[in-house]
A and B are shown apart, each in its own frame.
Chain A
C-alpha cells in the first residue's frame, strides 16, 4: 500500500525525523489559514500518487497566504497528467508546507535486498533527481549499507557508509541519526520502501526530509486495521481500487483483451500468449485457488468495468479449483451481465469435462490448449 506524501511524513515525524511544518487538507477554504499559520511563504503540494507531479503543475510556491489560496483553488479537483500517468489523477487533497531554503540535496532510502535477504539503506549526496538516473550515470555516488538481521544497524558501519558517500561534515551526524530512525520506522511498520528524495540540508545547517515516500507490505495490513480500510485509496486506477475492495488480485494493463485465470504464474503466462498471438492484454486477474462460482462471477463483473475490452480469455487449470464451479460462475455472469464481446475459454483439469458440457450451448468458444485459445481470442477480438 502506497502512502501519500502527507501520510509518509506523519509516520516519519512520529519517529522524530525532521520534516517541514505543514498540514494536509481536503478543504480548499482552509488553505489560507494554514498558510498564514506557517508564515505565508509556503509550498502547495497536490497529494496524488504519481511520478512527475512537479512538472504536471502539482507543486506550487506561494509568497503570501492569498497566493497559496489561489494555487489551491486552481489545483483542487483538477486532473493532473504526467508522462508517467497519461490518464491523469484528480487532486482531492493538498499538503501545505513551509518553504525551506535548501543548500544541498541528498538521497536516502530503506528497502529490501531480496537476493541477500537483508534490509539495505541507500545513501547518496546526489539527491533531488531520479535515483535510477544517478545509478545509471554514476553508480559510485550511491552507497549501500546492509543491515545485518542479527547485528542490526551498527554505528561503525553507519559511519563507514556515510564516509564512503562523502557526506559533508555539517550533515554527517544528523544523517546518521536520521538513518537509524528510518530503519526503526521501516521494521516497526512493515514498510516495503521508505524513500526520502531529497533530504535537504538547509542554509542554516539543518537536515530535513523535504519529500517522503512510504509504502507498506500489503501482506502485513492485518496488523494495521485503520490502514487496511483505506487501502483502496492508494490505487490510482478506479478498477484497481474496486478490485482491492472486492479482494481480487487485479492489475490494469493498457491492452484490450481481458484475461482471467487461476494462479499468478498461469495468468501471467496467458498474458504472454495473447501478446505472442498479436494481441494486447487488458489486465491481470487471478481468481485465486478454489474459487467458487460467485467469486468467478464477481471477477467477470469487474473485468466488464473496463470499457476498452474487445474480448475475454478465460484460462483455468483446475487443481483445487473445480472447473465446473468456474463454468457455473461464467454462465451466471453472462446471464446477468450484458457481455457482448467474444469470449474464449480454455478449461483443463479437475471436473473439466463437466465444465465443457455446461458451456456447450453458450456463446463461449471452447479451446483445448492455452496457445490455441490465445490465438482464437486474438482472431475474434480484432475481427
Chain B
C-alpha cells in the first residue's frame, strides 16, 4: 500500500513535448511508472518516448483511461492545464511548474474544492513517488527505496537530502509527497498526514516544513488530535529574516505569521520531535519505531 499513486496508476503528462516534461517522462518510464499518455495542444498524434501525445486531456483520458496527471506546462498556462485535467475526470493531479501566479492558484484551489473531484498536489513541487512503483515529478530515483516511512515536504532538494539519510539508515518509504513551496498549494500537510494515518503500510511519518504560512501549525493540531502514528519533523529557514522571500514564493515571514519559532512550538506541543539538524532525523524515526514495537 501507499498513498495517492502506486503501480496501478495510469499517468498522463501535460506539457510532455517540453524539455522538462520530456526528460522526466523518460526518467519515470525507466523507473517503471505506467505513463500512458501525453498532452500538448497541436502535437496530437505524435509520440514522446513511445508515449502517445493528444491535443486535449479529454481525448487522452478517453483513449487511455489515465487516472493521474503530472503538469509540466509553463507557468502562464499551468493553471488552465490543471483545470483541464480535472474537467477530464482525473482524480489526482500534481503541478510541478514553478512560478504560477497566486491569483491563478487561488482560482484553481477554490474551483477544485467546490467540485470535489480532483486532488491537486503542488505547484512548485518535486511531485510524488511511491518507491519502485510510480514516480510523477522530478526527483532523482536512486535515493528512494520501499519501506514503512511516509514523507511529506515543502522542499525538493531538502527532501532528497533527508530521504538519502533515511535510505542509508535502512528506513525505506511508502510514499514521498512534495507539497511544494507556493503560498497557495493544493494538498497541505494536514491532508497528507491524514492519508498516511489511514495507510496501513505507513508506520511513521517525516514532515519537512519551512518558514511562511501556518500549514505546519494546522498539521500539528491534526497530529495532536487525530494521529496514532509517530511523526518526526524538521523546519528549515530558522535563520531567515522576516519580510524576505527565501526562494520559494511561500517562504516568507510576514505580519508575524510563518516564524520558525511558532512552527517548532506547535509541533513540540503536539508531541512531535523536531530535529535541529537533518542528520538527526533517521535516529528520531528509528527510536519512534522502536517505541512502537515495545508497545505492541
A residues whose Cβ falls under 8 Å from a Cβ of B: 112, 114-115, 117-119, 132, 135, 149-150, 187, 190, 192, 217-220, 222-223, 249, 251, 253, 261-269, 271-276, 281, 284, 286, 289, 317-320, 348-350, 369-371
Contacts and interface: CB of A to CB of B under 8 A. Distances in A.
A319 B153 CA distance: 16
A261 B138 CA distance: 17
Given A114-B183, A219-B100, A268-B211, A251 B248 contact: no
B279 to A, nearest CB: 5
Given A149-B107, A150-B110, A275-B238, A269 B102 contact: no
Given A217-B103, A289-B138, A268 B210 contact: yes
Nearest to A251: B244
B133 interface: no
Nearest to B140: A319
Contacts of B140: 318-320, 349-350
Interface residues of B, number: 59
B121 to A, nearest CB: 15
Interface string B227-253: 000000000111111001111111100
The interface centre, meaning the residue of B76, B184, B277 with most chain A CB atoms within 10 A of its CB, is B277
SS of B interface (majority): loop
17 contacts: A112-B102, A114-B212, A115-B215, A217-B102, A219-B99, A219-B100, A253-B239, A263-B158, A266-B161, A266-B236, A267-B246, A269-B278, A272-B236, A272-B237, A272-B239, A289-B138, A317-B160
Interface of B: 75-76, 99-103, 106-107, 109-110, 113-114, 138-140, 143, 153-161, 164, 181, 183-184, 208, 210-215, 218, 236-241, 244-251, 255-257, 276-279
Given A114-B183, A149-B106, A350-B140, A268 B247 contact: yes
A165 to B, nearest CB: 18
A220 B153 contact: no
Given A265-B158, A265-B208, A115 B256 contact: no
Nearest to A240: B244
Given A114-B257, A223-B101, A319-B138, 8 more contacts: A115-B215, A117-B106, A222-B75, A268-B155, A268-B211, A272-B236, A274-B239, A348-B164
A268 B106 contact: no
Contacts of A369: 279
A253 B241 contact: yes
Nearest to A259: B239
A185 to B, nearest CB: 13
Given A117-B106, A117-B184, A132-B256, A269 B214 contact: no
Nearest to B99: A219
Contacts of A319: 138-140, 156-157, 160
A3 to B, nearest CB: 16
A8 B138 CA distance: 39
Contacts of B164: 317, 348-349
A314 to B, nearest CB: 13
A268 B236 contact: yes
Nearest to B74: A222
A117 B109 contact: yes
Contacts of A187: 103
Nearest to B165: A369
The interface centre, meaning the residue of A187, A223, A264, A273 with most chain B CB atoms within 10 A of its CB, is A264
The interface centre, meaning the residue of A119, A149, A269 with most chain B CB atoms within 10 A of its CB, is A269
